[in-house]
Amino acid sequence: MRATAIVAVAAAALLALFGWRRRPRLARQQRPLIPRAALQWAKVRARRHLLVLANLREVAGTLGVDIGGTLAKMVLLRRIREGEKHERVSFGACFNTQPSLSFDVYADDGTSLTLHFVAAPTRSLAEAVETLRNCDGQPAAPAVESGPRLQRRESVYSSVRHVVAAGGGAHKYAALFEEVLRVRLVPFAELAALVEGLHFLRAVGPADELYALPGPSPGGDGSGSATTSGGEGGASEAAEERVAWEEVDFPYIVVNIGSGVLLLEREGCESPGEGGGVAAGGATFRRVGGTACGGATFLGLGRALTGVADYHKLLALAEAGDASLVDTTVGDIYGEKGCAALGFPPSMTAVNFGALAHGGEAPLPAKRHLAAAVLQLVVQASVLQAMAHATPRGAADRVLFVGGFLSDNQLARRLVANTARKLGGRALFSRHADFLGGLGSLAETLHRRAEGVSQSARSDPHR
């Protein structure tokens, strides 16, 4: 026994010694591999970022920017010289240029100018600037054919470029942009930017800027269910109805559905009152409501219920679902005769997710139905509040829905339109709904130049 114990102790000591002596050797062999790969990738990213940001910093024209929590939207106004063709603006892979939104405007002297619309994830834009500051990637010079050099030196930009910017990023990233790019973000109030953007479009925007969605074709009741089987989100739908700006009298309600939801009343030439401001042309606006149940709710709650984290995949899932299998409808409570007496369609939503409250041990509906119910919850919360404010003001037929959540989201727009219709109203939509803040910032820049407010803006060589 004693000999066995001695052997065991000796073996343990040898193993400990062997492990202790081997560990540094393994560490020495592996340590250079990860940092070297990381360094190479950092340099590649820095070069890409430098190309993108140099193009952004040096682009000719006038910029208006809206840096939101999710997306940074940029509107670029460029002069078209005689003999030139329309040119597609591109800043790099992380920027999404939207040529279908571009349109021409004309200066007082007849000169033609083109508006370009570009969006990028805010995180990517901020990461690009941060990378250049932290790595050996301070911009040594604008991008050239031979490629940017990566070395730390003072910025070669001789002047500070002033850019009017709306959104929280105008404050959050101001110091970073000025340090690295010598771009001074001039903050512009978010609500004022949105209204200025609307005024800009009303004055010089495309004739087909505003539109409404008519009711579903025969066979669909348009009752308020996100489904592909003929409900409010039904696939069969007539063409868009063009709406002229002349039809949108004051006052009207603006519903901005982004991560959250904001409601504004656009008034005539009256006192703005509490929480209001003066917009271009003397018209006023004021905040009348809002809700925390917005686009981020759809993504966050949808992810929690379905496990799908990608926005577009979650939206596709919702389009294949039927919210009436999750919600409680008016018909579930009153029956068909009761609904006829009330004047409501039986399939109108009475309680969001109400069907799950009395399900007992029954299995949950399929994920696609849960996703459809979340989308309907978000849309109905916004539309109900909008109509509650619009109807007493006599503006139920003049409710304009804008914001990033409705951009490239036909299903949500159909839900909005049909829910508003069932509540006795009419929903209007804007083709540039996601760029109102950027357009407003651009308009503010032009106002400042025209009025001579900013000496630095007048001397900006990029205008």
DSSP class per residue in 229-261: SSSTT-S-BPPPEEE-GGG-PSSEEEEEESSSE
Alpha helices in 135-217 (DSSP H): 169-172, 174-181, 190-204
Task: Report which of 358, 335, 359 is spatially closest to residue 345, judged by C-alpha positions.
Answer: 335
Measured over the CA atoms of residue 309, residue 310, residue 312 and residue 316, the dihedral's sign is negative
Taking only the tens place, the pLDDT of each residue in 221-245 is 444 444 433 344 444 445 789 999 9
Mean pLDDT over 249-270 rounds to 86
Q: Is the pLDDT of residue 179 over 90?
A: no
Taking only the tens place, the pLDDT of each residue in 84-132 is 555 555 555 566 778 889 999 887 777 888 999 988 887 777 777 776 6
Which pLDDT score, from 0 to 100, does residue 283 have? 59
Give the list of residues 6+ apart from residue 32 with CB closer than 8 angstroms, or none: none
Which pLDDT score, from 0 to 100, does residue 257 have? 93
Which pLDDT score, from 0 to 100, does residue 57 have? 67
Q: pTM score, two decimals?
A: 0.76
Cα separation of 419 and 428, whole Å? Answer: 12
Q: Given pLDDT bands bounded at 50, 70 and 90, which one contains residue 148?
A: very low
* Cα of 32 vs its chain's centroid, Å: 41
Contact between residue 214 and residue 222 where contact means Cβ atoms under 8 Å apart: no
**Topology adopted by domain 210-430:** Nucleotidyltransferase; domain 5 (3.30.420)
Contact between residue 397 and residue 387 where contact means Cβ atoms under 8 Å apart: no
Say whether domain 49-192+439-458 belongs to CATH 3.30.420.
yes
Taking only the tens place, the pLDDT of each residue in 425-454 is 999 999 999 899 999 999 999 888 887 754
- 307 versus 175: the higher-pLDDT residue is 307
- Locate 37 and state its tokens: 């790969």
Find the range with the poorest average confidence among 41-45, 140-144, 391-395, 459-463. 140-144
Cα separation of 395 and 389, whole Å? Answer: 8
Average pLDDT over the chain, rounded to whole? 77
Q: Is the pLDDT of residue 310 over 50?
A: yes
- Locate 380 and state its tokens: 């109905």
- Locate 460 and state its tokens: 């900006």
pLDDT above 90: percentage of residues in the chain = 38
Q: Given pLDDT bands bounded at 50, 70 and 90, which one contains residue 158?
A: low
3-class secondary-structure state, position 70: coil
Give the list of residues 6+ apart from residue 219 with CB closer than 8 angstroms, or none: 230, 236
Pairing of strands 71-79, 96-97: unpaired
Per domain, the residue ranges of the chain are: 49-192+439-458, 210-430
Give the list of residues 6+ apart from residue 73 with CB closer than 8 angstroms, or none: 65, 66, 67, 117, 118, 119, 434, 435, 437, 438
Find the range with the poorest average confidence among 160-169, 237-246, 344-353. 237-246
* Angle value at C-alpha 456, between 455 and 458, nearest 5 degrees: 65
Same fold, 49-192+439-458 and 210-430: yes
